[in-house]
C-alpha cells in the first residue's frame, strides 16, 4: 500500500487545525515496490500527530461503513475528506489506484472508487462488496509511546467496541454454532502491549527474528514467563446466568473463542494453578524447543498468538467502574481530546504478564524484563510489530517511535527496519514488507537523514495559526544533522540558547582579555571562529 494524497476537508476532532489541508504524499507514477516510509517533522503543536489521528479516523470511518462487524463504531462521523492510494489486492496482478471520499453533500456520503487506467476514469464500488473490501488495508497499526497522544483516540474507541461485543457474544454463546467476535482492523501498539508483542515474537518467530529482536539489549533468548487470567471481579458486568446465591455472580464472561485460547494456554504451560474462589489461572512457561512446538500446534503465526494475548488484555476494560467507561465515551465523543481509559491495577486485571525473564548473552544470567530500559522496551516492541505484520497492505502510523532511543539507535533506526529478517528472506528484497506503508513523526534529524527530501514533510504554523506543510528545500538523504535541524526547525545555528547569549555578549565586547577567557569556555563551532576573528581585529587595533 502506498498513500498518494490526503485532503482533509473538515475534521472537528482536532479543532479544525487541519481543515483544508491538501497534501500530496507521492506521485501515482513513483512506483510501488520498495519500503519507503514518510517522515513528518516539525515543532510541537504543528499538527503532525493530529494528521496521523485523522488518517486513522478516515479508515475507522471507512471500515465501519464497509465492514461494520469488524469496526462497530465511528470515532468521527462528521469527518469530510478525500483520500487516494495504491494497493495490490491478492487476486490482482498490478496495483490498483483507489480514491475514497466523504463529503457533506449527496445521499451516499462515502464513495469508494477504483481507477480504470485503460479508460482513464474512476469506477464506483459497492461498499459491502468483497471486491471493495480487498481494496482496503488489512490493518491500520497505530504506535504511540505516550499516554496522552491524540493518535490513540480512534484505536481506543475501536478496542472499546470490541470488548463490548465480546460481552454480548459471551451472553449468547449457549446458542448453537456461535460465531466468534471478528478482529478489529485498527490495531494500537502502545506501552501496554510491549510484552504481548515481544513474547509472541520470541515464541513463534523464526530463530533469526528472535536473535534480531534481542541483540540490541544483549540478550540471548527468552528464559521463562508467567501470565495470569482472572475472571471473577467485583467491578465486572453482572452475569444474568448466575443465581443471586452464587458468590461469583460478577465475572468476566468470555466467548468460546477466548475459552479455546485459555484451554490452549493450559496445554502449552509447563505448569499452572487454578484458584476456584477468584477464578484465577496462573500459567508458568519455561521456554525450550518443546514449548515453542506446543505453541505452534495451536497458533499459526506470531500475529495469531499476539491476537490471543491482546484479546484477553482488552477485557481489562470491563473491570473498570462503569462511570469511568461512560465518562470516556462522553469525553471522546463531545470534546474529542486525547482521553483514554485508566489502566486497572495489576491485581485487578483480567489478563496480565507477571514475570518475563531473559538469558543474558555473555554471562548466561537471568535478566528480568523490568530491568531493561525504556529504549530497549521500545525498540523490541517496534521491530517486533514489523516482524509479526510483514504481510502486505498494512498501514503503520508511528508517533515518535524513537523517542526513548539513544543517538546511536536513532541513527540506525530505519536501517534496523530494513534489515529485519522475514519468512521470505532478509534485507531489502523482502517482497512482503515492501508492500506496506509507514508514516512516522519525529522531532529529531536522525530519521530524515535516511530519507530523500520528497519523503520528508515539514509541518509548521503561519502567523495566523494555519498549518503549512512543505518538503525541505535541501536534499535530506545523507545530509548532516546540523543542516537538517536548521532546515526543519529554523534553529540557526544549531546550538542551545545559553551559549548563544554568551557568544553574543562576547561579540559586543571591546575587551580582548574578556573574549580570550570566554573562548576558553566554549566548544568548537563556527561561532567560536567568528569570536576568534573578533579577537584578532581588536588585538590588531589596540596593538596588544
* pLDDT of 175 above 80: no
Arithmetic mean of pLDDT, 22-30? 91
Structural contact between residues 445 and 484, judged by C-beta atoms closer than 8 angstroms: yes
Tell me which of 43-52, 253-262, 427-436 is least confident.
427-436
**pTM, entire model:** 0.86
Arithmetic mean of pLDDT, 525-535? 78
pLDDT in tens, 403-455: 888 888 888 888 888 888 865 433 333 434 456 899 999 988 888 998 999 99
Residue 127: pLDDT band by 50, 70, 90 thresholds?
very high
Tell me how far apart the alpha carbons of residues 323 and 308 are, in angstroms, rounded to a whole number: 28
Q: What is the pLDDT of residue 199?
A: 94
3-state secondary structure of 78: coil
Distances (CA, A) of 202 to 110, 197, 457: 41, 9, 35
- What dihedral angle (degrees, nearest 10) is formed by the CA atoms of 363, 369, 374, 379? 80
Q: What is the pLDDT of residue 315?
A: 80
* pLDDT of 266 above 70: yes
Tell me how far apart the alpha carbons of residues 61 and 82 are, in angstroms, rounded to a whole number: 13
pLDDT in tens, 455-477: 999 999 888 888 999 999 999 99
Q: What is the pLDDT of residue 329?
A: 62
Q: CA angle 49-50-52, nearest 5°? A: 65
Tell me how far apart the alpha carbons of residues 421 and 133 are, in angstroms, rounded to a whole number: 29
* pLDDT of 233 above 50: yes
Q: CA angle 196-199-204, nearest 5°? A: 115
Structural contact between residues 95 and 30, judged by C-beta atoms closer than 8 angstroms: no
293 versus 190: the higher-pLDDT residue is: 293
Q: What is the pLDDT of residue 283?
A: 96
285 versus 149: the higher-pLDDT residue is: 285
Arithmetic mean of pLDDT, 233-238? 61
Arithmetic mean of pLDDT, 383-401? 89
And the C-alpha cell for 439?
Answer: 508514516
Tell me which of 102-111, 196-205, 474-483 is least confident.
102-111
DSSP-derived pairing of the beta strands 394-399 and 139-144: parallel
H-helix or E-strand spanning residue 161: helix 152-171
425 versus 275: the higher-pLDDT residue is: 275
Tell me how far apart the alpha carbons of residues 90 and 44 are, in angstroms, rounded to a whole number: 40
Tell me how far apart the alpha carbons of residues 114 and 99 are, in angstroms, rounded to a whole number: 6
Q: Which residue has the cell 481489562?
A: 316
DSSP letter, residue 14: G
* pLDDT of 31 above 80: no
The average confidence (pLDDT) of the chain is 83
Arithmetic mean of pLDDT, 484-508? 81
Tell me how far apart the alpha carbons of residues 542 and 325 are, in angstroms, rounded to a whole number: 76
Amino acid at each position: 500500500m502506498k498513500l498518494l494524497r490526503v485532503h482533509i476537508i473538515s475534521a472537528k476532532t482536532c479543532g479544525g487545525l487541519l481543515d483544508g489541508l491538501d497534501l500530496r504524499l507521492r506521485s501515482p507514477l513513483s512506483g510501488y515496490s520498495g519500503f519507503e516510509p514518510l517522515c513528518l517533522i516539525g515543532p510541537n503543536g504543528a499538527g503532525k500527530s493530529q494528521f496521523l489521528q485523522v488518517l486513522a479516523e478516515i479508515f475507522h470511518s471507512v471500515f465501519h461503513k464497509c465492514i461494520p462487524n469488524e469496526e462497530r463504531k465511528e470515532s468521527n462521523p462528521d469527518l469530510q475528506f478525500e483520500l487516494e492510494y495504491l494497493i495490490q489486492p491478492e487476486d490482482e496482478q498490478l496495483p490498483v489506484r483507489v480514491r475514497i471520499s466523504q463529503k457533506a453533500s449527496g445521499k451516499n456520503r462515502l464513495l469508494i472508487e477504483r481507477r480504470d487506467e485503460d479508460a482513464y476514469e474512476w469506477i464506483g464500488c459497492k461498499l459491502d462488496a468483497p471486491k471493495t473490501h480487498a481494496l482496503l488495508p488489512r490493518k491500520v497499526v497505530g504506535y504511540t509511546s505516550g499516554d496522552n497522544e491524540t493518535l490513540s483516540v480512534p484505536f481506543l474507541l475501536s478496542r472499546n467496541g470490541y470488548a463490548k461485543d465480546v460481552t454480548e457474544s459471551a451472553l449468547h454463546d449457549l446458542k448453537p454454532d456461535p460465531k466468534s467476535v471478528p478482529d478489529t482492523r485498527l490495531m494500537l501498539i502502545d506501552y501496554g502491549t510491549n510484552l504481548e508483542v515481544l513474547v509472541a515474537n520470541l515464541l513463534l518467530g523464526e530463530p533469526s527474528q528472535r536473535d534480531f529482536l534481542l541483540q540490541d539489549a544483549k540478550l540471548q533468548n527468552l528464559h521463562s514467563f508467567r501470565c495470569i487470567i482472572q475472571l471473577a471481579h467485583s467491578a465486572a458486568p453482572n452475569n444474568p446466568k448466575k443465581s443471586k446465591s452464587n458468590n461469583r455472580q460478577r465475572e468476566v464472561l468470555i466467548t468460546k473463542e477466548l475459552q479455546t485460547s485459555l484451554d490452549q494456554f493450559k496445554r502449552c504451560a509447563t505448569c499452572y494453578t487454578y484458584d476456584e474462589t477468584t477464578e484465577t489461572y496462573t500459567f508458568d512457561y519455561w521456554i525450550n524447543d518443546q514449548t515453542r512446538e506446543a505453541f505452534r500446534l495451536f497458533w499459526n503465526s506470531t500475529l495469531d498468538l499476539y491476537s490471543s494475548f491482546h484479546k484477553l488484555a482488552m477485557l481489562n476494560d470491563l473491570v473498570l467502574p462503569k462511570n469511568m467507561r461512560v465518562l470516556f465515551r462522553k469525553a471522546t465523543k463531545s470534546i474529542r481530546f486525547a482521553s483514554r481509559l485508566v489502566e486497572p491495577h495489576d491485581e485487578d486485571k483480567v489478563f496480565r504478564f507477571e514475570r518475563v525473564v531473559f538469558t543474558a548473552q555473555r554471562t548466561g544470567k537471568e535478566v528480568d524484563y523490568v530491568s531493561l530500559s525504556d529504549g530497549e522496551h521500545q525498540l523490541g516492541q517496534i521491530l517486533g510489530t514489523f516482524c509479526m505484520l510483514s504481510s502486505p497492505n498494512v498501514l503503520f502510523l508511528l508517533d515518535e517511535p524513537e523517542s526513548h532511543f539513544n543517538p546511536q539507535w536513532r541513527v540506525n533506526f530505519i536501517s534496523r527496519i530494513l534489515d529485519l529478517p522475514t519468512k521470505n528472506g532478509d534485507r531489502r528484497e523482502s517482497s512482503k514488507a515492501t508492500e506496506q506503508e509507514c508514516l512516522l513523526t519525529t522531532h529529531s534529524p536522525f530519521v530524515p537523514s535516511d530519507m530523500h527530501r520528497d519523503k520528508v514533510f515539514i509541518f509548521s504554523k503561519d502567523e495566523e495559526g494555519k498549518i503549512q506543510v512543505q518538503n525541505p528545500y535541501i536534499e535530506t538523504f545523507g545530509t548532516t544533522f546540523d543542516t537538517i535541524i536548521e532546515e526543519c526547525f529554523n534553529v540557526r545555528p544549531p546550538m542551545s540558547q545559553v551559549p548563544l547569549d554568551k557568544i553574543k555578549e562576547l561579540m559586543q565586547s571591546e575587551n580582548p582579555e574578556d573574549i580570550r577567557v570566554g573562548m576558553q569556555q566554549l566548544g568548537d563551532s563556527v561561532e567560536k571562529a567568528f569570536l576568534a576573528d573578533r579577537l584578532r581585529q581588536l588585538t590588531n587595533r589596540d596593538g596588544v
